[in-house]
Every structure is written in C-alpha cells, then in structure tokens.
C-alpha cells in the first residue's frame, strides 16, 4: 500500500476512534495558568463535540475564560495490547458557549437525550449547566507504539507522521523483544 493510502487509512481510523466513547477526557487551564484535568460526557454534531457542564466544575469557568481546551479519547488498559501502546486521539479545540435560546442548543440537547436518556430530563433544566461547542483545530492520533500522527487541515483530514524519523533504531535483540511485546 502506498504511503498516501496508509495515511488516509490512519485518518479514517482516527476519525472513527472517538465514536466508541460516551465521555471525553478534558484538559483546561484557569486564568491563573493552573491546569485542570477532568472529563465530560459528549455528543458530536456537525464536526463539533458538545459538552454540557456545571458551573460547579472548574472546567466550566476555564472554558468560559480561556475559550479553548484539549480533549482526549484513550483506549482502555484492558483493551490495549500493552499500557505503553494505548491508542489515543488528542484534539486541541476552541470552546464556545451555545446560548440556551438557540436552535443549536435545542438540537444538541435532543442528541444528549437520545444518547443518555431520561437523566437529561433532569439536568437539562438546571440553569447552572452550560452547553459548550468544542471545535477541533488540530490533533494527534497514536495508533500504537511508534505509530504517532499529526492531524491538521479542514476537519483534521490531513495526516502526517508526527516525527518523520520515528524513534531511534533499536538493535536487533531489542527490536525482537519489542515485536514480541506489542
């Protein structure tokens, strides 16, 4: 298979990877520069990830103040061939609050209800919750050990090896041992 076709296949795999998850890992930064790691449930709609989050969570204020965050989807340790080789998709995103009186708010909340059921009937009415659209602007996809890619361009459709050189070459014995592990 040609390199271009391989990269297109990686792009398709990366684009589909997040669909197996109901929540995303979320990284934000406070106005004081303090990092905050958390998670949120999400729905996808028109190339955006939407999260519905409470003001009680630090990430809500961070998204409001900074207008950006990073999301990660990561293969479970149980499914991974090895903890060092977990598949993961990391996306740098802009963040924008969706007004409650907008058509987008209604459409997305309907998707939340379809995905998460009656629980949404309760929290949809809570006014301390806010809907944010997270729009990916660039990303990376790791398909396994030494299989790291950059995602850029329109809808992150441009795929390139993260490092054209890859890892430094292993000696034959180390390569054989690595091949047995992953």
What is the average per-residue pLDDT within 152-176?
Answer: 73
- Please tell me the predicted confidence (pLDDT) of residue 40: 97
What CATH topology corresponds to 3-181?
A: Pnp Oxidase; Chain A (2.30.110)
- Please tell me the predicted confidence (pLDDT) of residue 106: 96
Compute the chain's Rg from CA coordinates. 19
The residue with tokens 């934000």 is 28
Q: What is the mean pLDDT of the chain?
A: 91
What is the average per-residue pLDDT within 117-143?
Answer: 95
- Please tell me the predicted confidence (pLDDT) of residue 105: 97
pLDDT band at 100 (very low <50, low <70, confident <90, very high): very high
Q: Where are the domains of the chain?
A: 3-181
Query: Residue 54 and residue 166: Cα distance in Å, rounded?
Result: 41
| 174, pLDDT greater than 90 | no
| 39, pLDDT greater than 80 | yes
pLDDT band at 102 (very low <50, low <70, confident <90, very high): very high
pLDDT band at 164 (very low <50, low <70, confident <90, very high): low
| 127, pLDDT greater than 90 | yes
Query: Residue 154 and residue 148: Cα distance in Å, rounded?
Result: 19
Asked whether the beta carbons of 49 and 155 are under 8 A apart, the reply is: no
| 47, pLDDT greater than 60 | yes
């Amino acid at each position: 298979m040609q390199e271009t076709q391989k990269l297109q296949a990686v792009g398709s795999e990366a684009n589909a990877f997040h669909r197996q998850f109901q929540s995303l890992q979320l990284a934000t930064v406070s106005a004081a520069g303090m990092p905050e790691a958390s998670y949120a449930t999400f729905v996808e709609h028109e190339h955006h990830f939407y999260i519905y989050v409470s003001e009680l969570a630090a990430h809500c204020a961070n998204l409001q103040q900074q207008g950006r965050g990073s999301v990660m989807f990561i293969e479970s340790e149980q499914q991974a061939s090895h903890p060092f080789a977990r598949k993961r998709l990391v996306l740098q995103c802009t963040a924008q609050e969706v007004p409650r009186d907008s058509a987008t708010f209604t459409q997305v909340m309907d998707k939340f209800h379809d995905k998460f059921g009656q629980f949404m009937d309760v929290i949809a009415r809570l006014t301390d919750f806010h809907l944010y659209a997270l729009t990916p602007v660039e990303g990376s996809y790791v398909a396994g050990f030494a299989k790291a890619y950059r995602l850029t361009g329109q809808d992150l459709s441009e795929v390139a090896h993260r490092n054209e050189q890859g890892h430094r070459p292993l000696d034959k014995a180390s390569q054989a041992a690595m091949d047995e592990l992953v």
